Amino acid sequence: MTIREGGCLCGAVRFEVRGEPIVAGACYCRDCQYVSGGAAAYGMMFPADALTVKQGEMKAFTLKSDSGVDVYRHFCPQCGVHLISHNGAHPQFRAIKAGVLDDPSCFESEGSIWTSSAQPWHRIDPDLPSREKNPDIDPGTAN
């Protein structure tokens, strides 16, 4: 079974995730733009029980989505890097940001979501499916 490791920028938080992602993609929602620094969030969705936090403890910032669901963004309290998010309506999933993996090159986008919130200067992959808003399972923030 594939085991991927990752962590935050300062190294306080370390995790591993087992198996292959259920889905992976880019989320262009406005909330992800804040967290990423302006870009889309590149996320890989796993079952919650595939994830093990091996070191450190994350804090969660919670914001209501458009549909009134709590979206939890888990971040390192030392360096502030957001690593993982989950949607209160789908607690069985965790979206892991590609950039916090030790080897982010394994990320393969299957599509784009929330393109209705994309900026004019974003480059949405024209060769992959895209949705203006949410899919049933959201690889980014589950807004």
* Residue 10 in the binding site for Zn ion (CB under 5 A): yes
Out of 4, 8, 36, 93, the only residue in the binding site for Zn ion (CB under 5 A) is 8
**Residue 53 in contact with Zn ion, rule: CB under 5 A:** no
Alpha-carbon torsion 57, 73, 50, 93, what sign? positive
| Residue 62 contacts residue 141 (beta carbons within 8 Å) | no
Nearer to Zn ion, 70 or 78 (CB): 78
CA distance 68 to 58: 24
CB of 111 to Zn ion, least distance (A): 30
**Residue 56, helix vs strand vs coil:** coil
Q: Helices in 16-136 by DSSP H: which ranges?
A: 30-36
How many residues touch Zn ion under the rule CB under 5 A: the total is 6
Binding mask 62-81 for Zn ion (x = CB under 5 A): --------------x-xx--
Residue 84 touches Zn ion, criterion: CB under 5 A: no
Between 75 and 107, whose beta carbon lies closer to Zn ion?
75
Can you tell me which residue has the tokens 């030790």? 102
Of 46, 122, 121, nearest to 83 by C-alpha is: 46
Tell me how far, at minimum, the Cβ of 98 lies from Zn ion, in Å: 17
Nearest partner of 29 among 95, 115, 110, judged by Cα:
115
Q: Is 124 in the site for Zn ion (CB under 5 A)?
A: no
Residues that bind Zn ion (CB under 5 A): 8, 10, 12, 76, 78-79
